[in-house]
Amino acid sequence: MMLIFSHENPVLVTNIKNILESERIDVLIKNEFASGGAGELSAFDTWQEVWLINDKDEAKALMIIKSVTNKENAPDWFCPKCKEANGAAFEVCWNCDEVAN
Ligand SMILES: [Zn+2]
């Protein structure tokens, strides 16, 4: 088992997990509930982590993560429903769950 991805934004971490699972790569999230007690922890300690169950999936997983995080550099999109700005890597509005068009 190995750590494959970590990010301060739990929505992005969940997004990565879902994409990897859709590619039949077994992963699990650690620190999933750490943010509940964030007061005592540094921001970094509350970062969620995506762990790879099978190390042999590393190359494929990294390729997928790279393609997803590359989208992060693309311009934000604005939710047609609530007008909130969303990172390009996200397919669903963080605010109202509207799906990007
Ligand atoms: Zn929205």
Average pLDDT over residues 33-50: 64
Nearest-angstrom CA–CA distance, 79 and 62 = 29
| Pairwise pLDDT comparison (5 vs 9), residue with the higher score | 5
Higher-confidence residue: 62 or 42?
Answer: 62
Average pLDDT over all residues of the chain: 85
Rounded to the nearest angstrom, the distance between the alpha carbon of 101 and the centre of ligand 1 is 12
Beta bridge partners of 86: 77
d(CA 35, ligand 1 centre) in Å? 23
pLDDT digits (tens, 9 = 90+) for 68-85: 887 666 788 899 999 999
Query: What is the per-residue pLDDT for 8?
Result: 83
Residue-level pLDDT at 35:
52
φ, ψ of residue 68 to 5 degrees: the values are -75, -45
